[in-house]
Amino acid sequence: MFDGLKDKLSSFREDVEESTDAAEQDAAADAEANATAADAGRADGSESQTDAGSEPPADESTSDGPVDASGDEGGADPSTFQRAKAFATGRIIIEEEDLEEPLWDLEMALLESDVEMSVAERILETVRETMLGESRRQVETTGELVEQALHDALLDVIAVGQFDFESRIAEADKPVTIVFTGVNGVGKTTTIAKLSEWLGERGYSSVLANGDTYRAGANEQIGEHADRLGRELIAHDQGGDPAAVIYDGVEYARANDVDVVLGDTAGRLHTSDDLMAQLAKIDRVVDPDMTIFVDEAVAGQDAVNRAEEFDDAAAIDGAVLT
């Protein structure tokens, strides 16, 4: 998916370059034509001065061509003169017509790659606002401007709702309780192990609490991570109450001055009413400091729909895409 999207973003860059290259050629031609006309005008003026003594003054009504109010002959498109003027000063202007077709192709590419509609629209709008009316030096490439515009647009999209996770951990009362939710097989347990190591590197202690009492082998899986990391694991027998497991993890952290409790939960489909009700119970009983939603980075619009359902059951503070 990502390789295909990357190729399509590269195609957008090429499309814009082609559009602006064509405009650059037109501007060069206009600038050359204007220069030629100016030279011809000067030559005519010099000749007129030479013959002034023998020729009668010309009637204003016999002017060779119409002149518009702005002084541009023939009422030519102002944008044409703007481009020509910019070209003459060593710059190229990017206009709406240069972006119209490439932006349409980019929109189709994003939607075909399962990018959520509102996200795609935000990216397109940011790119349009960034590039429209932008002028570049002729020694620069349009591709550089496109890359920067896409870079800014993507950062703008993913920056929505971001917070400083490390600062939040540092400033919160200890222990900090974090519960991880999401559908089956997206990497919640592995994410917990990685985060425990990340916290340890920054001087924070952590305890793992296995609230996945539904899946066979869940205790063994998270137990391997706990052993490898040297962390304490709080777990109950399969079929136990997941809220009670994570609550015991919080009590253990308080008694042993542990900084962070990392609570795992069973993977569940957002369409399972019973399991979503169980998640809501964990949220009520444990009252975590943060609830992190974990999903696959390639899930596209499905991830958005799932996140909304999980947020209804237990308010999500952040997301991890695996």
Q: What is the CATH number of the domain that holds 271?
A: 3.40.50.300
Please indicate, yes or no, if residue 108 is contained in any of the structural domains.
Answer: yes
Q: What is the predicted pLDDT for the residue at 180?
A: 94
Radius of gyration for the chain, computed over Cα atoms and rounded to the nearest angstrom: 33
Same domain, 114 and 36: yes
Answer whether residue 68 is part of any domain: no
Taking alpha carbons only, the member of 158, 175, 163, 182 closest to residue 279 is 182
Number of domains composing the chain: 2
- Do 193 and 141 lie in one domain? The reply is no
Shared domain check, 314 and 171: yes
Shared domain check, 195 and 136 = no
Q: Is residue 269, in this structure, part of any structural domain at all?
A: yes
Residues 246 and 297 sit within 8 Å (Cβ to Cβ): no
Considering only residues 15 and 259, tell me which one the structure prediction assigns the higher pLDDT: 259
Q: What is the pLDDT of residue 139?
A: 37
Same domain for 244 and 141 = no
Question: Is residue 256 domain-resident?
Answer: yes
Residue 202 lies in a domain: yes
Rounded Cα distance, 165 and 156, in Å: 18
Domain contains 64: no
Q: Is the CB of residue 175 less than 8 Å from the CB of residue 260?
A: yes
Query: 3-class SS at 288?
Result: coil
Q: Is the pLDDT of residue 65 over 50?
A: no
Count the neighbouring beta carbons within 10 Å of the beta carbon of residue 236.
16
Question: Please, which pLDDT band fits residue 251 given cuts at 50, 70 and 90?
Answer: very high
> pLDDT value at position 45?
58
For residues 249 and 284, is the Cβ–Cβ distance under 8 A? no
Give me the mean pLDDT over the 125-147 stretch.
63
pLDDT band with cut points at 50, 70 and 90 for residue 129 = confident
Q: Are residues 247 and 141 in the same domain?
A: no
Is beta strand 135-137 parallel, antiparallel or unpaired with respect to 91-93?
antiparallel
Q: Give residue 143's domain range.
A: 2-42+77-158
Whether 181 and 146 share a structural domain: no
Tokens, residue 208? 């793992």
pLDDT in tens, 255-303: 999 999 999 998 777 667 777 888 899 999 999 999 999 988 777 777 8
Whether residues 170 and 306 share a domain: the answer is: yes
* Last residue of one domain, picked from the residues 128, 158, 188: 158
User: Which tens digit of pLDDT belongs to each residue from 76-125?
Assistant: 454 555 555 455 545 556 666 766 777 777 777 777 777 777 777 888 88
Distance (Å, whole) CA 134 – CA 120: 22
Sign for the pseudo-dihedral over CA of 168, 169, 170, 176: positive
pTM of the predicted model as reported, rounded to 2 decimal places: 0.62
pLDDT, tens digit, for every residue of 187-245? 899 999 999 999 999 999 999 999 988 888 889 999 999 999 999 999 998 888 999 99
Same structural domain, 37 and 94: yes
Question: Is 258 found in the same domain as 148?
Answer: no
Closest CA to 120 of 128, 111, 112, 129: 111
pLDDT tier for residue 39 given thresholds of 50, 70 and 90: low
Residue 51 belongs to some domain of the structure: no
105 and 173 in a common domain: no
Cα 17 from Cα 30, distance rounded (Å):
20
CB 263 within 8 A of CB 157: no
| Structural domain includes residue 280 | yes
Task: Assess whether 139 and 175 both reside in one domain.
Answer: no
Q: Which of 107, 138, 158 is the last residue of a domain?
A: 158
Q: Using CA atoms, how far apart are residues 180 and 164, in angstroms rounded to an integer?
A: 18
The domain boundary residue, chosen from 130, 158, 186: 158
Residue 64, classed as helix, strand or coil, is coil
